[in-house]
Amino acid sequence: MTFKKSEKLYKKGLKNLVGAVNSPVRAFSSVGGNPLFIKKAKGTKITDVDNNEYVDLVLSYGPMILGHRHKKVQKGVEKALKNGYSFGASTENEIKLAKIVCDAFPEMDKVRFVNSGTEAVLSGIRLARAFTGKDKIIKFAGCYHGHQDALLVAAGSGLATLSLPGSKGVPEGAVKNTLIAEYNNLESVKKHFEDDDNIAAVIIEPIGGNMGVVIPQNDFLKELKEYLETKNALLIADEVMTGFRSKFGGAQDLLGVTADITCLGKVIGGGFPVGAYGARNEIMQEVAPLGGMYQAGTLSGNPIAMAGGIATLTELKKQNPYQKFEEIGGEIETILLDSAKKYNVDLIVNRFGSMLNPFFTNSEITNFEQAQTSDTGKFSVFFWEMIKNGVFLPPSQFEAWFLSSALKEKDIKIIKKAVDKAMLAVSKM
Residues of the chain with CATH 3.40.640.10: 71-318
Average pLDDT, the chain: 93
- The pLDDT of residue 166: 62
**pTM listed for this prediction:** 0.93
The closest alpha carbon to 128, from 250, 236, 257, belongs to 236
266 is catalytic: yes
Q: Considering 10, 61, 144, 183, which one is annotated as catalytic? A: 144
- The pLDDT of residue 6: 97
The closest alpha carbon to 227, from 256, 197, 187, belongs to 187
- The pLDDT of residue 159: 31
136 is catalytic: no
Q: pLDDT truncated to tens, each residue of the chain (429 aa)?
A: 899 999 999 999 999 999 999 988 898 988 999 999 999 999 999 999 999 999 999 999 999 999 999 999 999 999 999 999 999 999 999 999 999 999 999 899 999 999 999 999 999 999 999 999 999 999 998 888 888 777 776 532 233 333 445 667 777 777 888 999 999 999 999 999 999 999 999 999 999 988 889 999 999 999 999 999 999 999 999 999 999 999 999 999 999 999 999 999 999 999 999 999 999 999 999 999 999 999 999 999 999 999 999 999 999 999 999 999 999 999 999 999 999 999 999 999 999 989 999 999 999 999 988 998 999 999 999 999 999 999 999 999 999 999 999 999 999 999 999 999 999 999 998
Domain spanning 71-318: CATH 3.40.50.970: no
Residues of the chain with CATH 3.90.1150.10: 4-65+321-427
238 is catalytic: yes
Q: Considering 48, 238, 253, 411, which one is annotated as catalytic? A: 238
Q: Considering 266, 375, 378, 411, which one is annotated as catalytic? A: 266
Fold of 4-65+321-427: Aspartate Aminotransferase, domain 1 (3.90.1150)
Please give the Cα distance from 29 to 390 (Å, whole number): 21
